[in-house]
A and B are shown apart, each in its own frame.
Chain A
Amino acid sequence: MSILRLLTGLLLLLSLSLPAGVYAQSSDSEASALLQALADSSYAQKQQVISDIVSSGDERARTWLEAYADGKLAQTKDTGAFVFVLSNRGRDWTVADALSGDTIGEMSRRNIDRIRINNALRKELEGMLSVIDLTVDDADTRLAAARALKGEVDAALAERIGTLLDTEADDDVHDALTEALAIYQVAQGEVAAVAVLSGSLNPQARVALNNAAQSDNPELAAAAAKALESIQTKLKINSAAETLYFGLSLGSVLVLAAIGLAITFGVMGVINMAHGELIMLGAYTTWGMQQLFPGQPGLALILSIPAGFLVAALAGIAIERTVIQHLKGRPLETLLATFGVSLILQQLVRTVISPLNRSVVTPEWMSGSLMINEALSLTLNRLYVIGFALVVFAGLMLIMRKTRLGLEVRAVTQNRAMARSMGIKATRVDILTFGLGSGVAGLAGVALSQITNVGPNLGQSYIIDSFMVVVFGGVGNLWGTLVAGLSLGTINQILEPWAGAVLAKIVVLVFIILFIQKRPRGLFPQKGRAAEG
């Protein structure tokens, strides 16, 4: 044992007697000395040591402090070397050299002495780390660091930020730093800083202003109160924007679910209660594609757009051929028969796949959110769904207005006999139209799989809503469906905060029921010959 100590002492002596490094950064010996001080000092002194490490300008300071904050910085008992603990599972821990960063290998747990840290120090460290980040070259890192500083600034930091501001070239970083500094200054009672915070959406800024508004200094209190007011207005606008976004998102889901129905029910006049199940098939197609391409959710999702369309379209055509064509001109019977089909499809999915919900992976480029400002961020998947709904709508509009098929569909719906006598194959048009409407339902399913659970009941929950949208918008009118879907979604979201989700839904349903009483043909009734189909 004593030999070991002796050896350590010798080693220490040796290391001290080594010539000073010629690196631009501090030498390893200086670094060891700093870390040794960190290990040896009391909690009260550690703060000073940390500042020393930061101001040493060593490039490795960041990794050391990060590791220290995570409790991974340690010293070996035998050699006194500083190491990072990479894995602390089991008896032997994997460690890396703290100075060179090279992995050393496994080492007995008993030989490792972690440098202790407490919560106060950890918090301190977070502020310190961001200061280090403020000096790196990458502007994004600087911006993130500057944002993290808001509300964390103390006297020492304020001084540093003051000097940094002079050299900061990036405007965003500059603004963030100014704001962080202003939060501190307002807390210190500087009236001039209030102007900086006026209109800021940062919650820390609001805390600082709230405190200032209650201060004894009447000038400061008045200025802060005024600034708070402008912030409140801004927040209200932002929350309104957020509600609108959620409303549009829900609305676009409704539009997607209903737009296929607008073709089959609105244009063809066929009541397809299995429409919801066609949506479900589209969603399950997405799930199936992801099973086929494991690990590539993005590719699978893109492929499932045509696949979902095809699956649902074929299923729709099968329903048309086997059931609906025998019930032409009997809408109520069609309703019942297709309801039966929907029951069969649901049970089929339950029996063949599973009665439980399947999880569909969201690809990376669709997860996360788009940050507009500090009070408003838009989730990407919903943004994609809104875009997708608009694209699908535009596509359908084009087909119905500009193509031969669209022309024939409108001709057959207006006057079947006349259209046939003009040489239009009515049966073929029926099949294609129904396939189109069903395929669009499949597309809706693909989109829905990204934002809700994929289960056997998926379609059921949308069918009543979809019919409401089509009826509300005016049967046979695609624009009506778009407007109705988006407005119903928005109304629902506006009602939700003060009425609750369920009551909002009820209110919307009752509203539609009353609306249909007033305008039985919907928002945009068809005019002229198309009116009495």
Chain B
Amino acid sequence: MELMPPDVAEGNFTPYGAQATGPGSAGQEASNGNVAASVGPFVRVDDTPKFELDSYIANYSGRTKFNRLFLIGTCSTHLSVEALKAAIAEAKSGKDVSRYERAVQALAENAPNEIEAVLDREWVERLQRVVRAETDRLEHELRGYKNNLIKESIRMGNEDLGQHYHRTGDLTAASKAYSRMRDFCTTPSHVASMLFKIISVAIERGEWLSVQSNVQRLRSLQTKQEEQSKNQPKISAALGLSQLHSGSYLDAANSFLATEPSLGDSYNDILSSNDVAVYGGLCALASMDRNELQRRVLDNNSFRNFLELEPHIRRAISFFCNSKFRPCLEILDAYRADYLLDIHLQRHVETLYTRIRTKSIQQYLVPFNRVSLESMSKIFVLGNRTDQPSPDSNSAFVQELIELIQNGTLDSRIDLEKHVIVSSQGDKRIEVQEAALESLENYIEEAHIRLLRTNIVRAGLEVRPLGDERRPRPEERVGGKRSTIGNIFSRATGTKH
């Protein structure tokens, strides 16, 4: 039986502070007494997303359902009312009072005239009573089991309590209760189930370090073959999720690519297979080159199953691989609203999209010596294709290129006379000569200074503190100590004896 050290990520430790206070992890704050309610939405999405809210949300189960609905409700202008109503319904079917209150408040702000926008006080009070009674009961039971010292009962008691806390939205308490199970697990599958529960709470709390460390524990667990193959997809997906959130997009892509298609809908309380396709596809697009994308994504038989669920991601990737950057970027742009309304992608959409775009521009320029800004903007300036005047030096696209050049991403220069971008083929010959000259000059300077230093010390002419009879003027110095003069002096003249 594995002995588990206390989890570093438990308690109040939130490694991704910025992410933890946004709606991406909205579930936690109310229960932790945080300021979630006062934090406005991370983005406002005015475009209509492509998905149908009903069928989208039907993919999920458990607490993520409410969290996703609430996020859509607070961020999207079009789906706001619909999503918040669904969120309220979802909350009312559960036992978490605080999320019901938050959903009602959000709806009241957006559509105060809706019937649901009025708080159902009676329900709230009744539920609070029920929850309190249930908490008391479970705690009492657990105390009983503890007195009897039956491991299995204590484990189950803690599990029940954890589940109860989780359902009622007290994530801190839930996490603690689940963690207390560890000493009473007797089989590897118990440990695995406990770890999954901890991971689930950690994901909701946005504690990605905790997710990662628990995933590692799950991986090193010796379980039966069939159980392992059942757990693998969930482990990979959870790991990928945590890597996505910590910004390691290549790692995240690798994790999602390694997720077995047997995941199916087994992890619906966290993410769906569609999500794996989208997250994995975008992370791969943002972090891999064309060869890798072809080999590891498009030609990947197991990941193909996921991609079939989201065919546009597959299309975007194959467009990219075939250097058809405009259709690729257009697809991504079309789905921008969808991804901005995704609980996990929201904060990463901009970064991922920028990286993909930058990579496209880089790839596009590879074969050319010079490209006209006009033909480039035909590809990279999305939007209305017809009324595009030839880009002037102040257009956003040219500005974007300038920034890419200045931060070293593009090794090119812009010619504002002929309106072309020229790949800078620095004259290697001159460069070598300049480098030689520079190192020669540096060498001479440094050698000279070192030589002087040696000879200064030899002649006993170092800068000295006060008190030396040879350099008596006090105003010439700034803070000196007397203590080591003798030592230094003997050192300086020492070689001549």
To the question of whether A and B form a pair in one complex, the answer is: no
Residues of B within 8 A of A (CB): none
The interface of chain A, by Cβ under 8 A from chain B, is none
